Structure 1
């Protein structure tokens, strides 16, 4: 009888310990998850879904260039609208965009053939790739449009999917090499948009005024807006 009681006590004790360990593990998991989500929202860590790509668990090859750079400095078909050039009945999934920062030029392509160019300006610190929030640089690389919406101050906003996995890799590399402080955040809300009302002079004078976005005259961003959509490729060259 005594042995049975002792044996039962041992089982109950072990069960209680397992429950305590299970509870402690659950609390720890919740705490780590909440902390990770907080760091993600602060821009210090990438979303969990992008972690394999950032750590190169899937693949670490950069996307290949999409467009061929235009040879000259001229603006292609600058006196004609996209609607005049392309018409209405086109496949919008064949539209793509090339931004050449050094030439202050954005070109719309159809079937990878250039059809129309527009003058642009950039972030106030235009030279080099964007690495962190607040550096005022316009990012370089291959992006896709994630959303489009009217903007109360700049006519339209074409929102790009910065930061990508490649952006995160470059961000952490800059921290490892000392170019960035470890508390620097990566930033976001990068897009293509217009200018404040009656401020086309910002484009004419090549006055880089944004925090990293690409800015066009309002009539030009309106012209592009009707031909692009979610997923449209936007390649940005130095």
Structure 2
């Protein structure tokens, strides 16, 4: 009798719940194994289409880190509140600890290029006349012990670039204030 109920329960579970399970790959950091430290000036290229942040130095590629963003719509930020991650060339302007997301490497968004795109889009009627450009874009961590959001490509930020906290610790060491950050799709 118990076996019959167990079998019935498994059928119900498999029909209703098993389909919700998925395999999550552990997205890991890839590094140049021939160098222990970057050489010369270091800069970052964030590729939104590949969900990667790549670190380059004077000798070329140094490391790649998995990242996530704001909206699932990976197009360029249009205005404040759209949760999109801006595209363009930025600089890290300061670093600070954060009570929710570990640390923040603050970017100089909006730049002059950002303002030009914003004004052009407003003039073309692509965004409302009363829209604001926004700000506060950073590279930051996740909630404590929440690497799953990066591993399963969950875009959860308000437009920032999010990395695993241990990866952010490495990036904090590698990237001085003033480092260039290029964000592209």
TM-score (norm 2): 0.80
**SS, match of residue 55 in structure 2:** strand
Task: Tell whether the 8 Å contact from 1:125 to 1:135 is kept in structure 2 after alignment.
Answer: no
Please report the RMSD computed on the Cα atoms of aligned residues, expressed in angstroms.
1.9
Q: Which residue of 2 aligns with 1:86?
A: 37
Larger Rg: 1
Q: Which residue of 1 aligns with 2:154?
A: 207
Answering whether residue 134 of structure 2 is matched by residue 187 of structure 1, we say yes
Which of 224, 227, 231 pairs up with 2:174? 227
Cα 1:159/1:225, change in 2 over 3 Å: same
Gaps of 5+ in 1: 1-73
Task: Tell whether the 8 Å contact from 1:126 to 1:208 is kept in structure 2 after alignment.
Answer: no
Q: Which residue of 2 aligns with 1:145?
A: 92
Q: Measure how far apart 1:150 and its partner are.
A: 1.0
Q: Of the two structures, which has the highest relative contact order with CA contacts closer than 8 Å and spacing of 6 or more?
A: 2
Q: Measure how far apart 1:148 and its partner are.
A: 0.6
Q: Measure how far apart 1:110 and its partner are.
A: 1.1
Tell me the distance in 2 between the aligned counterparts of 1:193 and 1:122: 10
**Across the two proteins, how many residue pairs are aligned to each other?**
157
**SS, match of residue 126 in structure 2:** coil
Q: Which residue of 1 aligns with 2:76?
A: 129
| Aligned residue runs from structure 1 range 1-238, under 5 A | 76-77=30-31, 85-86=36-37, 91=40, 94-111=41-58, 113-238=60-185
Task: Tell whether the 8 Å contact from 1:121 to 1:216 is kept in structure 2 after alignment.
Answer: yes
Cα 1:126/1:111, change in 2 over 3 Å: farther
Cα 1:179/1:162, change in 2 over 3 Å: same
**SS, match of residue 176 in structure 2:** coil
